[in-house]
Structure 1
Amino acid sequence: MKTKLPFDGFYLKLLDEQNGTHEYEEYLRNCKEKPLTEEEQWEWTESARAAIAELERINAEPEPTRQSAEPEAEAEGISSLQTPKQPIELQEKGCTGQEAEEVPEVEVVPAEAIVPLGQTEEDAPAEKERWAYASELIGDAFQHWGNGRVLLDMGTGRGKNEFIIKKLVSWRVDEMLKKTTIGRVLCLCPLNTLHAEMLQRRTEAAIAEVDGEPTEIAMTNDAFYENMLEVRTYQNIETKYRNDPASLKKYLTGFKYIVADECHYFTDFSSYGMNTYLSLEVLQKAEADHVVIYMSATGEETYKLLEETSKTPEDRIYKLPQDYQHIKQKYFYSRENLVMMLKCLPEDEKAVIFVSSGGDLLKMKEIFGDTAAYYCSENNPKYGKMFNKLTECVKDRELQKRYLFTTKAFGIGTEIKDRTVKHLYIDQWKPTDIIQSTGRKRPLDVDDTCTVYFRDYDADWYYGDLKKFKAIVIEELRPAVAYLAGAEAFEVFRNSGKPDSINNKIRKCKIMEFDDAKGEYRVNPLGVRQLKRELELLNEMLETSYKQVFAKYAPVLAEETVPYRFDSVVDWINAHLNQPMLKEDMYESIRALKVFKEYKGRPMGQDALNRKLQIYGVKIITVREFKRNENRNKTLWKLIRI
């Protein structure tokens, strides 16, 4: 029996304040001395219902939290950028919130528990850190946060959402019950999958807090958490802001805290989300009369964007590095070897494979069939309805099939707690996507390890896919940049091709659309910035090398990552080293390994083979046979150590 039963206590406290009675004090003495009888439990339930009704009366405008799924941003394809250097102008009809609450009297958090941005070494191993999780790092400092911005710049698995639910929301529930002060929390997230995940975590936390109590108590606690923490998607807020800003303004007054979960949404999602700049405007405006908490494992570009408008106080920036201790090995792999590698995995081990597009999912489904699950965003106009629902892929955070093939729609915020998931394959080029995808595996203990494989784009023929991605980004940017350059530049663009072709380019542009209500185009400035940032990255990769840029922007992941080498190739090399062979015979012998594949049926030349063999520490040289035998004057190849 717990010594604290806040729900009926809250009700009695309200009555005491209204009627001048002292039943609350008597209640506290009784609940410490003895458990409730069945009759008292029934009375408790009735009083709890009354408490909830009173809470609903106090709230200015409560809205149902368990709403139906809202449209989510498409989370695949080419994405990730910057934003205008000038502060984003907010619409005249902005959003305001309630006045700042009086700061409760609590013990002041020690100064050493507040860690400014950059104070914690990014590469520091977790065991050397003083704090491993968000709640430990922040301590009780959150109880003193006044209106304004807070940054939680922390790696995946560092407990950011746990802090919001189990610390911030739990504290607000307690404060409400003790002092009848309301400080509700609104959590915004980018995807429906995260929306459902957050609701599940909220329910789990509420029930766990009264573990062992009667079902009615658990349900009531869940009801209090539900009322205190509301979860919405960014898209929901954007729709309200665009169509009814007055209603949104009134809605936000019901909250004291706004959490911008996965806040890299404002950069990474802007290249395919038309309205991302609207929700950012809402949050920037809300900082005046709300505590706005931005948090992400890959929010660097968003934090830079925020700093361009106003500086974040150093004592409101909290940083923890990514923890990769559960990754026992890291490899670069060639895309042409993916299927072979997957089929060679031990039968009792599972794998998650992050692919680039819905088209890749179709190809994998043709090969792996029912042995795998396949997931992409339901909002994908072409592939959204063709694959499994998320609940068919992952249940209770465990994979339901041996393989899960997925786009980046799964790679943001979703947890996997499955000891049998031993392999992560990441076929993505952007560092932020790679970091998010790598963080999906959450270890259960020190023995729960895995191996991660990063696609080696340097091994592709002439950087084929990187060039394709670059072409897509350029085409996406052209109409938006021309429009922003002015009427004359846009007119030049509109006359740069056939009318149907130009119209098609504009319609396909995800960061620009014609606003029929206003009779003009509108452009997402965050989308322009993000696509320009992606173009810079792709140019840098093509001018230097993919692995070099990977190491620059994801240094911890790149450290000690080595090329994947097949044992069959190593054995073949050992058997043929320094032994001249006819060029044709060696070529067919190499092809028989089924590791190095021809590009579109074209035979591989000596240079191409040497690029592939380089990771094995050997190369092919050409030798001549001058003896009088059948090989005289024929071209011979010989393997030698580099």
Structure 2
Amino acid sequence: MRSKNISEIVTYEKIRKWSKGDIITITAGTGMGKSYFIKNKLYAFAEKNKKRILMLIHRTNCVDQFNNEIITAKKADIIDIKTYQYLESLYKNNRKFDFSKYEYIVCDEFHYFMSDARFNKTTDISLEVLLNQMDVVKIFMSATSDAMKTYIRERKGMTTIDYEIPISYNFIQKLKFFMKDETMEKFMEEAIERAKEGKQDNKGIFFIQSAEKAYNLYKKYEKNCLFCCGKSDKHYKYVNSDKIKNMLKSERFEEQFLITTTCLDAGVNIKDENVKHIVIDNKDLYSLIQCMGRKRLENDRDKIYVYIKAINNKQIGGMETQIKNKIKMADFLMEHTVKEFIEKFPREYDHSNIVYTDTVDEEDKGTFKVNDLMYVKCNRDLCDIEFMKMRGRFGYCKYLAHEFGFQDEETGEYHYSVEDEEYDDKLEVYLNSIIGLKLYKKEQNELAIISNIKRNGKLMKSLNSINSCFDEEGIKYHIIDYTDWKRTLENGIKNIYYGKKYWVVNSLNNVCQEKG
């Protein structure tokens, strides 16, 4: 049975009932007609009633693509397009935007306010400005809207009028998780070989959170790839902007692979039946879901294979620790006075930007405030992590498999695969086997090889690099360096290691003393 689209659910009769100040939410997955509804149905209603629409978008590439469509369709007389960041820049600098000429404000991909709050400290500015506009109808649209709907209703105490089409992930043919960065190269090489054999259905999109990692992968397979990242990133100079513009206009790319950061995680459409593979290296769950939606399905037979960089339970533990550290100052401030906060954290700056300074009156008296969106985002992430931990080994993979319909509701059995499931067990067994031993140059090199920590494709061998990675990924081991000053005799020969540095591995769960 064919699913209804948004234009069939949000009828003209319902639009007529909307009043100034109403908050409308529209939740639907890719291809369910959210943008079509705005560009056609709402446009026609606004044009007939001599009203205008302000469309807010969160990615520059989305603005370019949407602008092209509006101009081509000759609808720019009714629909204006701006970015959320534009509003944030205005209000951050004590300037204002004139909303008075609009009847409708459409907030496209409005999960932006919370998802980008993990790195953008000003998303709360644009949200606050928009929620305070009481003379317009505000329409919030997204495929991942639950978190923001809850925030608006529970944290802001506002009522929403909700329209929703349940999201189905039956377009995913196969779900696979991989552990190592090298696996992405393996995917590419296999697809390139298939292309040489004349097979067409081997195009892929790689979404990689790190622009540096994305660029390095692109550089290795440059003749087969198109590269994209955000304009503010230092790697943008390697982006072929003309090809990206053509891709946004034609909604397809000619190369075999598109390698991009999350600058294309929402709003951008790719319509090409030969794009069958979506590879995602991104830890944020909401962005991850958005990435899968960039490939538009052409028909019921159009399926995709999804490959996701796995996060093991050690890494989940590390993420949990990092988030708790991020909100530590905010937690204290919310439970104590500003005076107590200053006494607790004298001359300290909240590097997470969740606690910030602001003026509270005309006398320019300052105070500390909590960025509520960033704070709630962190706590939602902690909640997700808790659910992952409850699922046991490979909790992240099981959590996503459940979300995407790859768990049998009756038996509880999961239907996904994980590359090299024993990799992390092997590392832990190895680290346990060398706890307390003196590791000289040869053994240090062996530790580096087995730990397999790489930056820009180069194996990291320094103590600081390995410790930093262990800490980041929640691997509960720590390396300490010492110098051997003992003048012991071994078989009548003086200690050949005299004056040499060595490492000792300790377990943070059960700290051991060095042996010997």
Same topology, TM > 0.5: yes
Deviates more, 1:349-358 or 1:482-491: 482-491
Give 3-state SS (helix, strand or coil) of 2:327's partner. helix
**1:392 aligned residue:** 244
Match of 1:546, as an amino acid? Y
Q: 1:281 to 1:392 in 2, by over 3 A?
A: closer
Q: Which residue of 2 aligns with 1:586?
A: none
Query: Considering only aligned residues, what root-mean-square deviation do their CA atoms show, in Å?
Result: 3.1
Aligned to 1:583: none
Helix, strand or coil at the partner of 2:282: coil
* 1:303 Cα offset (Å): 0.5
Q: Distance in 1 between matches of 2:340 and 2:401?
A: 39
Counterpart in the other structure of 2:471 = none
Distance 2:18 2:77 in 1: 21
The AA in structure 2 aligned to 1:392 is: I
User: 1:556 is aligned with what amino acid?
Assistant: G
Secondary structure at the aligned position of 1:252 is classed as coil
Distance of aligned partners of 1:358 and 1:480 in 2 relative to their CA distance in 1, 3 Å threshold: farther
Contact 2:6 2:32 in 1 (8 A): yes
Which structure 2 residues correspond to residues 433-444 of structure 1 after superposition, within 5 A? 433-444=287-298
Matches within 5 A, 1:529-548: 529-542=376-389, 544=392, 545-548=395-398
Asked whether the equivalents of residues 273 and 510 of structure 1 are also in contact (C-alpha less than 8 Å), the reply is no
CA 1:272–1:481: 2 relative to 1, 3 Å:
farther
| Aligned partners of 1:271 and 1:511 also within 8 Å | no
State the partner residue of 1:292: 138
1:428 — aligned with what?
A: 282
Q: Distance in 2 between matches of 1:272 and 1:128?
A: 39
Residue in 2 that maps onto 1:335:
180
Please report how far the alpha carbon of residue 267 of structure 1 lies from its aligned counterpart in structure 2 after TM superposition: 1.4
Match of 1:402 in 2: 256
TM-aligned CA distance change 1:487 to 1:311, over 3 Å: closer
- Mapping for residues 194-205 of structure 1, pairs under 5 Å: 194-204=62-72
Q: How far has the Cα of 1:261 moved from its partner?
A: 0.9
Change over 3 Å in CA distance of 1:372–1:263 after alignment to 2: same
Q: Give the equivalent residue in structure 2 for 1:365.
A: 218
Whether 2:37 is the aligned partner of 1:163: answer yes
Q: 1:422 to 1:352 in 2, by over 3 A?
A: same
Matched, 1:319 2:167: no
Secondary structure of residue in 1 paired with 2:297: coil
* Distance in 2 of aligned mates of 1:417 and 1:599: 46
Query: Which of 1 and 2 has higher RCO (CA within 8 Å, sep 6+)?
Result: 1
* Offset of residue 198 of structure 1: 1.9
Pairing partner for 2:56 from 169, 188, 209: 188
| Structure 1 contact 511–527 (Cα < 8 Å) conserved | yes
Match of 2:352 in 1: 509
Which residue does 2:323 correspond to in 1? 473
Equivalent position SS for 2:152: helix
CA–CA distance in structure 2, aligned partners of residues 542 and 355 of structure 1: 24
Provide Cα deviations, 1:405-464, integer angstroms capped at 9, x if missing partner.
222221111111122211001223333222111111102234433211223324xxx633
Contact kept, 8 Å, 2:406 with 2:416, in 1: the verdict is: no
Instruction: For residue 399 of structure 1, report the CA deviation from its aligned partner.
Output: 2.0
Question: Residue 450 of structure 2 aligns to a residue in which SS?
Answer: coil
Summarize the Cα distance change of 1:369–1:391 in structure 2 as closer, same or farther, 3 Å threshold. Answer: closer
Q: Deviations over 1:497-551 (max 9, x none)?
A: xx7xx55xx3x43444555987555542111111122133234434532123324
* Amino acid corresponding to residue 146 of structure 1 in structure 2: S
Contact 1:463 1:542 in 2 (8 A): no
User: For the Cα contact (< 8 Å) 1:270–1:511, is it kept in 2?
Assistant: no
Give, in angstroms, the shift of residue 467 of structure 1: 4.1
Q: Which amino acid aligns with 1:364?
A: L
2:399 to 538, 549, 556: 549
Aligned 8 A contact 2:338 2:367 in 1:
no
**1:144 pairs with 2:12:** no
Q: Distance in 2 between matches of 1:397 and 1:421?
A: 12
SS of 2:140 mapped into structure 1: strand
Bigger CA drift: 513-522 or 253-262?
Answer: 513-522
**Which residue among 293, 304, 309 is the counterpart of 1:455?**
309
Q: Hey, which of these two has a bigger chunk of strand by percent? A: 2
Counterpart in 2 of 1:615?
none
Larger radius of gyration: 1
In the TM superposition, 1:102-181 aligns within 5 A as: 127=1, 129=3, 131=4, 133-140=5-12, 141-147=14-20, 148-173=22-47, 175=48, 181=49
Hey, what does 1:239 align to over in structure 2? 89
Q: Which ranges in structure 1 are unaligned for 5 or more consecutive residues?
A: 1-126, 176-180, 207-221, 567-597, 605-642
**Segment of structure 1 superposing worse, 339-348 or 253-262:** 339-348
Equivalent residue number for residue 601 of structure 1? 449
Partner AA of 1:277 in structure 2: D
The aligned amino acid for 1:239 is S
Counterpart AA for 2:345: R
Report the Cα distance in structure 2 between the residues aligned to 1:400 and 1:512, rounded to whole angstroms.
46
Contact 2:388 2:399 in 1 (8 A): yes
Q: Say which SS state the counterpart of residue 392 (structure 1) adopts.
A: helix
Which residue identity lines up with residue 404 of structure 1 in the other structure?
Answer: L
1:416–1:441 contact (8 Å) kept in structure 2 = yes
Superposed counterparts of 1:1-150, under 5 Å: 127=1, 129=3, 131=4, 133-140=5-12, 141-147=14-20, 148-150=22-24
1:599 Cα offset (Å): 8.0
Q: Deviations along 1:281-301, whole A, 9 cap, x unmatched?
A: 222222x32111111100101
Q: Secondary structure at the match of 2:65?
A: helix
In structure 1, which of residues 208, 229, 233 is the aligned counterpart of residue 79 of structure 2?
229
Instruction: Identify the residue that residue 66 of structure 1 maps to in structure 2.
Output: none
Instruction: Answer yes or no: is 1:487 the counterpart of 2:353.
Output: no
Whether 1:377 and 2:227 are equivalent positions in the alignment is no
Give the direction of change, closer, same or farther, for the CA distance of 1:529–1:324 in structure 2 (3 Å limit).
Answer: closer
| Corresponding residue SS for 2:144 | coil
For the residues of structure 2 that align with 1:230 and 1:387, how far apart are their CA atoms? 28
Letter in 2 for 1:157: G
Structure 1 distance, partners of 2:273, 2:447, is 38
- 1:255 aligns with 102
| Structure 1 residue identity aligned to 2:288 | I
What code does the residue aligned with 1:491 have? Answer: I
Distance in 1 separating the partners of 2:237 and 2:415: 37
The structural deviation recorded for 1:367 is 3.0
Q: How many residues align?
A: 401
Shift of 1:331: 2.3
Counterpart AA for 2:450: R
TM superposition score normalised by structure 2: 0.69
Cα offsets for 1:103-138 (capped at 9, x unmatched): xxxxxxxxxxxxxxxxxxxxxxxx353x1x111222
* Structure 1 moving runs of 4+ over 6 Å: none
